[in-house]
Amino acid sequence: MLNTSIIGASGYTGAELAAMVLKHPHLQLAGLYVSENSLDAGKAISELHGQLRGRVDLPLQPLTDTAAVVNTSDIVLLATAHEVSHELAPIFLEAGCQVFDLSGAFRVKSDDFYTQYYGFAHQYAQWLDEAVYGLAEWNSDAIRQAQFVAVPGCYPTAAQLALKPLLAAGLLDTQQWPVINAVSGVSGAGRKASMANSFCEVSLQAYGVFNHRHQPEISAHLGTDVIFTPHLGNFKRGILATITARLAAGVTPEAVSEAMSAAYHQPGEQAVRLLGHQAARLQDVVNTCFCDIGWQVQGQHVILTSAIDNLLKGASSQAMQCINIRNGFAPLTALVG
Amino acid sequence: MLNTSIIGASGYTGAELAAMVLKHPHLQLAGLYVSENSLDAGKAISELHGQLRGRVDLPLQPLTDTAAVVNTSDIVLLATAHEVSHELAPIFLEAGCQVFDLSGAFRVKSDDFYTQYYGFAHQYAQWLDEAVYGLAEWNSDAIRQAQFVAVPGCYPTAAQLALKPLLAAGLLDTQQWPVINAVSGVSGAGRKASMANSFCEVSLQAYGVFNHRHQPEISAHLGTDVIFTPHLGNFKRGILATITARLAAGVTPEAVSEAMSAAYHQPGEQAVRLLGHQAARLQDVVNTCFCDIGWQVQGQHVILTSAIDNLLKGASSQAMQCINIRNGFAPLTALVG
Amino acid sequence: MLNTSIIGASGYTGAELAAMVLKHPHLQLAGLYVSENSLDAGKAISELHGQLRGRVDLPLQPLTDTAAVVNTSDIVLLATAHEVSHELAPIFLEAGCQVFDLSGAFRVKSDDFYTQYYGFAHQYAQWLDEAVYGLAEWNSDAIRQAQFVAVPGCYPTAAQLALKPLLAAGLLDTQQWPVINAVSGVSGAGRKASMANSFCEVSLQAYGVFNHRHQPEISAHLGTDVIFTPHLGNFKRGILATITARLAAGVTPEAVSEAMSAAYHQPGEQAVRLLGHQAARLQDVVNTCFCDIGWQVQGQHVILTSAIDNLLKGASSQAMQCINIRNGFAPLTALVG
Amino acid sequence: MLNTSIIGASGYTGAELAAMVLKHPHLQLAGLYVSENSLDAGKAISELHGQLRGRVDLPLQPLTDTAAVVNTSDIVLLATAHEVSHELAPIFLEAGCQVFDLSGAFRVKSDDFYTQYYGFAHQYAQWLDEAVYGLAEWNSDAIRQAQFVAVPGCYPTAAQLALKPLLAAGLLDTQQWPVINAVSGVSGAGRKASMANSFCEVSLQAYGVFNHRHQPEISAHLGTDVIFTPHLGNFKRGILATITARLAAGVTPEAVSEAMSAAYHQPGEQAVRLLGHQAARLQDVVNTCFCDIGWQVQGQHVILTSAIDNLLKGASSQAMQCINIRNGFAPLTALVG
């Protein structure tokens, strides 16, 4: 049994992680932590997340002493703000823990990126270099060796899982940038009070046009420019991405289908479900670890639809896939069945 | 044309009032005000309430000088917090304005009530005494004479409009307290950021069990004890009240129907629509000024359903009915058609 | 391993049952059936219920031959229409299968009831007599011996779990009938096309006032008259019941709390979570097998709130609790963790 | 007063039209019609559309005799199925009525189009030629002269109002086809029972990928190829379109803004509200006649967001704009204020 601690356990992602660790046959919940001055410190996690009542009633402890976490943890999950992960990850890594960071602090191997998109100067070039990008279906070899995994963002997961097979097979004409439109549920904004998240203010709308931080994350890891437009939707969970791209000259519909099938040919090992020419539907993936992908080709264009649960495949269940891969467990342990 | 100012114009009710005054053939919008230190001061109301864009783009002015309001206003609408109305109403009244207060500060003629339910000691016994309760279909004679109207709360409007005809006709056995269950949309909590209003946290649930301030408001104005249980619903607007009451011995279904019809026999003048044995449906009243009421009798019990838009008949359109009645306009002016 | 077949597997409840059987360590999915002339016959269940894709892709077989089911099944789950269960249950029972019927066809031990509320004359008085009412937390002794379990309705489950502790302890004055108001998600109406279920027509409203078939089911099993008013809510899953009842003379708040705690003192064995004076919240129980119950006392009245997932504790997970109890498995096997 | 009849008055669009005609100072409601064998024939329109209760309680008459309509109507509004409009429009036109058709039967001047996308061979080439496309902000000169107006589709309205200013000013590089992603509320599918519209089945998803009939409508009237992907959203009303296009070489952000401002410089006469660099928000346009448009430029790309109420600017209020323009009334009569 590997002892597992969750830092930032008061949020929606933290609650999902706690439930997964509990279900996992090889993991044991070592501790749930919140920041030192959080108003939630001392409460049971189930006070905040009523669905956990009677299942996970552990207290949220204030993170006053990282050494105490180190002493009791083989694995540390960081479900913390970017700046907090940036400070904490090196501490737990240097103490020898496996660290799975769900924030954006170590996802892109470029210092400038953090100054421009996250508003802080990155201080840990070495750990940034060491971090393995945890897109589970594509980086499993590296993840298997990693002490430190930067779990991808929610939109980047949905977008890359759809586009990578076509790019890897050289089927796209990237002179025309793929256009990624995506709609996320409100939980993507985290558990907090704000006017933007206020029930009466939520309404389908684009945001972060041309300047969302997930655009460079997607571009960096795809190795091609993209146009990415996120939207807020009037639902709690899930992301649907609709992607329009131009095919390279002479690419047939069959070639597209073959590339998709080749990339995701291990259903029990991979959390991707291929829909063929059907369009992905949000409701089929919510509360599951799956990414559903459908596609259609017409003339020189392909349209892909890709759906995930933003809190699961877009965060916590992908982190768990990485833990499973790193530690030699079946990749979908605690995630299906 | 009567000059009309709205204090507290940044909220959902304020926005509705502004749109109504604009449509009104005999009212003119004199000014929109917010509290002196509001972050919204200086913004156009349509920046906050996008649906008003191009229709009402007036600025929200900080209320620094009540005299300026007095000088430009025949009518003052208070869509302010209870404590703020408590302070402001007397000022505008003494200056001779007609005041229509949408808060709870002057609805119940009992000092104790305010200490217990609103957390402040009432300072204006005389104005409290003077205030006419603006339940438009029932108090029109008094409203016609009033300088000062306390517009009823949202739940009390839905509940009283259904129960008053039966109580007035002596058809209920009030030894058994009527049971009022009601569900309100989230806009009832006002325009503000809070965890309780946060999109992902909203879920059907009861609140204020046995201690909501609208329970004594209902009881006081009905003249009988009631059990009132409010609920938060996962929708933006509207209230549905379901009321179970015991009939006095020998009361027939026909007597109930006759009492309802007698109370609301002037469709064009009253904002109540009788549904007979059909149940009221939220969607039929949202964005209208109407209260829909249905009822069924079985044995000694009657079940009534009563639906309103909480921001309209539960607040702003009822205020407008009162203005219309007070000033000799057709009661539903600016509200229908 | 007990072979388990699901009849009526195309509906929402059928899909939940299939997922549960799959997770169960001691059950094996023997077959999924739909009616002989169903348009869904031959499709994979995951074509209808996309969330099952890659997990349960078995075909929905037309039920042409009950003998084939009998030969392959130790347990038969009937998620069928009332009339269909009425015909099928006796066949499977006489063949020696354990039968768990989720319809209303065998819940109330009165012939008249079926004529009046279900529109057919009951033909199987003996099986009606034999059927054990599967309210798992209250009837486990009888369930343990039963060949035939009539799983309670969704509303009756929410209502009875809240009221039974108080009635059993003699704390209520039932001269005044308890008033049960409940709101159900749209999935309660089943998987079918109808104007009433059409997205644009759904809006909070009461229905079945004074004549819903769950009212006599509740009354019969509580042994007392009640007033029950169901409502349709604008959400997919879940039921919230708010219950107002009169306490017997002299009953204290403490006595109420003690009765609740005494009834549900085995958290790991029972699917009830007590909230004390907090109100139940729909979102905490959706996608769980739990019934959350809160209560408050004031003077002579108690208000209880009770929340369940209508498709789980209100149908499929309660059926699974009954299977577990009947077969000596831990009651919440395949339901939690 | 112009006598106005509505054919197909039982649907969501019909109900909106009826309410608008009622509010219009120069129109009079002559009759509400449904197809001869409709189950709704004989009912009051307010039985189907409860929000109209007490405002429009006229009966839905079976359309048995077109001559009777002709005799009582100056204006005929067709809110009918495409095939029905195709048959009816010529009849009313030949009788001399003004006809405003909200179906797709006369929008595109190509016979083939109807065979391919609507499944019927067009029989009325002359009337197809005569029909004026009712995109009110762009075709007012032609509308002013027209006897017959084909009111644009909902998606085409949102898309064209955003793209036309840039195309008209020659600012786009149409070698790269503009990518239009749009999400519509469920009312876009009409008032009917179907599994796809069933509350529990609605979930954000793309549909009609590469083959929705609104794609050729958009292309034909823009004069350029586009990629159009419609989506179903989990809300009742509204369309949000997000459009990504490539600018011609050297086009500046200022040039884009100027083109938008030049196209929509008459706020009181046009139902377009320009948001500048803000993104359009569904909630601001629902229940209004407006199209909100925002835009952003980066490098060689522009992203536009365009929001309308699909039942109003996407259907009925645009029809009313056309009536107003045709008959010399202020264009937004009965639509604002």
Query: What is the per-residue pLDDT across A138-197, written as a single tens digit (0 to 9) for each?
Result: 999 999 999 999 999 999 999 999 999 999 999 999 999 999 999 999 999 999 999 999
Angle between helices A154-168 and A253-263 (to 10 degrees): 120
Residue B236: list chain A partners with CB under 8 A. Answer: 199-200
Is B277 part of a structural domain of the chain? yes
Q: What is the DSSP string of B17-52?
A: HHHHHHH-TTEEEEEEEE-TT-TTTTSBHHHHSGGG
Q: Has residue D111 got a pLDDT over 90?
A: no
Is A29 part of a structural domain of the chain? yes
Q: Chain D interface, mutation test: which of B12, B49, B53, B291, most D Cβ atoms within 10 Å?
A: B53
Domain endpoint, select from D78, D97, D130: D130
Is B166 part of a structural domain of the chain? yes
Mean of pLDDT over chain D: 97
pLDDT confidence of residue C18: 98
Q: Has residue A267 got a pLDDT over 90?
A: no
- Which structure tokens are listed for C222? 């509580």
Name chain D's partners: 3 or more CB pairs within 8 A.
Answer: A, B, C
Interface of D with C in 198-257 (CB under 8 A): 198-200, 202, 234, 236
pLDDT confidence of residue A300: 97
- pLDDT digits over C73-86, tens only? 999 999 999 999 99
- pLDDT digits over C283-336, tens only? 999 999 999 999 999 999 999 999 999 999 999 999 999 999 999 999 999 999
Share of chain B above pLDDT 70, in %: 100
pLDDT confidence of residue A167: 98
Interface of A with C in 83-122 (CB under 8 A): none
Using 50, 70 and 90 to split pLDDT, how confident is the model at D132? very high
- Which structure tokens are listed for B64? 């620094």
- Which structure tokens are listed for B109? 């003629």
Residue A193: list chain B partners with CB under 8 A. Answer: 193-195, 197-198
> How far D27 CA lies from chain B's nearest CA (Å)?
13
Interface of C with B in 50-79 (CB under 8 A): none
Residue A235: list chain D partners with CB under 8 A. Answer: 204, 234
How many domains, in total, are found in chain A? 2
In angstroms, rounded to a whole number, what is the distance separating the alpha carbons of residues D242 and A215? 17
Using 50, 70 and 90 to split pLDDT, how confident is the model at D337? confident
In terms of CA atoms, which chain A residue is nearest residue B51? A201
Mean pLDDT of B238-263: 98
- Which segments within chain D are labelled E, that is strand? 2-7, 27-34, 60-62, 75-78, 98-101, 132-133, 148-150, 179-184, 205-206, 227-232, 239-246, 272-276, 291-298, 301-308
Q: Has residue D199 got a pLDDT over 80?
A: yes
Mean pLDDT of D242-256: 98
In angstroms, rounded to a whole number, what is the distance separating the alpha carbons of residues C279 and C300? 19
Q: Has residue B120 got a pLDDT over 90?
A: yes
Work out how many CB contacts closer than 8 A connect A with C: 45
Q: Which of B97, B154, B289, B322 is catalytic?
A: B154
Q: Do C285 and A54 touch (CB under 8 A)?
A: no
Of D191, D195, D200, the CB nearest to C200: D191
Is D323 part of a structural domain of the chain? no
Of C54, C285, C292, the CB nearest to A267: C54
Q: Has residue C195 got a pLDDT over 80?
A: yes
Q: Is B325 left (phi over 0), alpha (psi -120 to 50) or beta?
A: alpha
Q: Has residue C250 got a pLDDT over 90?
A: yes
Same domain, C82 and C229: no
Same domain, C193 and C111: no
3-state secondary structure of D32: strand
Residue A209: list chain D partners with CB under 8 A. Answer: 279, 296, 303, 305
Same domain, D258 and D198: yes
Same domain, D126 and D270: no
- pLDDT digits over B189-203, tens only? 999 999 999 999 999
In terms of CA atoms, which chain B residue is nearest residue A237? B200
Name chain C's partners: 3 or more CB pairs within 8 A.
Answer: A, B, D
In angstroms, rounded to a whole number, what is the distance separating the alpha carbons of residues C144 and C150? 13
Is D143 part of a structural domain of the chain? no
Residue C176, chain B, CB below 8 Å: the answer is yes
Work out how many CB contacts closer than 8 A connect A with D: 104
Same domain, A175 and A304: yes
Tell me, what's the ipTM? 0.96
Share of chain D above pLDDT 70, in %: 100
pLDDT confidence of residue C267: 87
> How far C280 CA lies from chain B's nearest CA (Å)?
6
- pLDDT digits over C96-151, tens only? 999 999 999 999 999 889 999 999 999 999 999 999 999 999 999 999 999 999 99
3-state secondary structure of C293: strand
Mean pLDDT of B106-118: 93
Strands B179-184 and B132-133: unpaired
Of D51, D55, D290, the CB nearest to B54: D290
CA proximity to C152, closest of C177, C134, C172? C134
Using 50, 70 and 90 to split pLDDT, how confident is the model at B261? very high
Q: Which residues have C-beta within 8 Å of that of residue C284, sequence separation ≥ 6?
A: A50, A51, A53, B203, C290, C292, C307
pLDDT confidence of residue B283: 97
Mean pLDDT of C247-266: 97
Same domain, A171 and A88: no
- pLDDT digits over A55-95, tens only? 999 999 999 999 999 999 999 999 999 999 999 999 999 99
Same domain, A159 and A296: yes
Mean of pLDDT over chain A: 97
Name the DSSP class of B279.
Answer: P
Mean pLDDT of B53-81: 96
Q: What is the DSSP string of D238-298?
A: -EEEEEEEEBPTT--HHHHHHHHHHHT--TTTSSEEEEETSPPBHHHHTTSS-EEEEEEEE
A66-91 burial, b at 16+ Cβ within 10 Å, e below that, comes to beebbeebbbbbbbbbbebbbebbbe
pLDDT confidence of residue D216: 96
Q: Which residues have C-beta within 8 Å of that of residue A169, sequence separation ≥ 6?
A: A255, A258, A259, A262
The strand order across the sheet containing B132-133 reads: B60-62, B27-34, B2-7, B75-78, B98-101, B148-150, B132-133
pLDDT confidence of residue B337: 73
Q: Which residues have C-beta within 8 Å of that of residue D68, sequence separation ≥ 6?
A: none
Using 50, 70 and 90 to split pLDDT, how confident is the model at B267? confident
Read off the amino acid at residue A97.
C
- Which structure tokens are listed for B249? 């011995």
Q: Do A55 and C267 touch (CB under 8 A)?
A: no
> How far C202 CA lies from chain D's nearest CA (Å)?
7
In this structure, what CATH number is given to the domain that contains residue C176?
3.30.360.10
Residue D240: list chain B partners with CB under 8 A. Answer: none
- pLDDT digits over B173-191, tens only? 999 999 999 999 999 999 9
In terms of CA atoms, which chain A residue is nearest residue D200? A283
Using 50, 70 and 90 to split pLDDT, how confident is the model at B277? very high
Is B142 part of a structural domain of the chain? no
Name the DSSP class of D1.
Answer: -
In angstroms, rounded to a whole number, what is the distance separating the alpha carbons of residues A269 and A273? 11
Q: Chain B interface, mutation test: which of D49, D53, D56, D336, most B Cβ atoms within 10 Å?
A: D53
- pLDDT digits over A1-32, tens only? 999 999 999 999 999 999 999 999 999 999 99
In terms of CA atoms, which chain A residue is nearest residue C283? A51
Look up the domain containing D74 and give its range: 2-130
Mean pLDDT of C12-34: 97
pLDDT confidence of residue A14: 97
Of A51, A54, A284, the CB nearest to C50: A284
In terms of CA atoms, which chain C residue is nearest residue B296? C209
pLDDT confidence of residue C153: 97
Same domain, A158 and A284: yes
Residue B197: list chain A partners with CB under 8 A. Answer: 193, 198-200
Mean pLDDT of A261-271: 95
The catalytic residues of A are 154
Of A51, A55, A336, the CB nearest to C55: A336
pLDDT confidence of residue C118: 93
Q: Has residue A337 got a pLDDT over 80?
A: no
Name residue, tokens 């002359």. D126
Per-residue HEC secondary structure of chain A comes to CEEEEEECCCCHHHHHHHHHHHHCCCEEEEEEEECCCCCCCCCEHHHHCHHHCCCCCCEEEECCCHHHHHHHCCEEEECCCHHHHHHHHHHHHHCCCEEEECCCCCCCCCHHHHHHHHCCCCCCHHHHHHCEECCCCCCHHHHHHCCEEECCCHHHHHHHHHHHHHHHCCCECCCCCCEEEEEECHHHHCCCCCCCCEHHHCCCEECCCCCCCHHHHHHHHHCCCCEEEEEECCCCCCEEEEEEEEECCCCCHHHHHHHHHHHCCCCCCCCEEEEECCCCEHHHHCCCCCEEEEEEEECCEEEEEEEECCCHHHHHHHHHHHHHHHCCCCCCCCCCC
In angstroms, rounded to a whole number, what is the distance separating the alpha carbons of residues B105 and B120? 10
pLDDT confidence of residue A227: 98
In angstroms, rounded to a whole number, what is the distance separating the alpha carbons of residues D222 and D218? 6
Of C177, C204, C242, the CB nearest to B282: C204
In terms of CA atoms, which chain A residue is nearest residue C235? A235
Q: How far is CA B302 from CA A63, B162, B222, B265, C227, in A?
A: 57, 11, 17, 21, 10
In angstroms, rounded to a whole number, what is the distance separating the alpha carbons of residues A85 and A114? 13
Is C336 part of a structural domain of the chain? no
> How far C190 CA lies from chain B's nearest CA (Å)?
21
- pLDDT digits over D276-286, tens only? 999 999 999 99
Name chain A's partners: 3 or more CB pairs within 8 A.
Answer: B, C, D
3-state secondary structure of C131: coil
Dihedral in degrees, nearest 10, Cα atoms C63, C69, C70, C75: -110
Is B323 part of a structural domain of the chain? no
Q: Do D204 and A242 touch (CB under 8 A)?
A: no
pLDDT confidence of residue A263: 98
The catalytic residues of C are 154
Same domain, A219 and A124: no
Name the DSSP class of C221.
Answer: H
Using 50, 70 and 90 to split pLDDT, how confident is the model at D267? confident
Same domain, C175 and C103: no
pLDDT confidence of residue C337: 72
D154 as an active site residue: the answer is: yes
Same domain, C19 and C122: yes
Same domain, A177 and A265: yes
Q: How far is CA D310 from CA B281, D101, D186, in A?
A: 23, 16, 10
Of C233, C238, C303, the CB nearest to B209: C303
- pLDDT digits over B204-218, tens only? 999 999 999 999 999
Q: Do C242 and B204 touch (CB under 8 A)?
A: no
Mean pLDDT of C49-76: 96
In terms of CA atoms, which chain C residue is nearest residue A55? C337
In angstroms, rounded to a whole number, what is the distance separating the alpha carbons of residues B318 and B328? 15
Mean pLDDT of B116-143: 96
Q: Which residues pair with B184 in a beta bridge?
A: B232, B239
Q: Chain B interface, mutation test: which of D24, D28, D45, D51, most B Cβ atoms within 10 Å?
A: D51
In this structure, what CATH number is given to the domain that contains residue A7?
3.40.50.720
pLDDT confidence of residue C111: 80
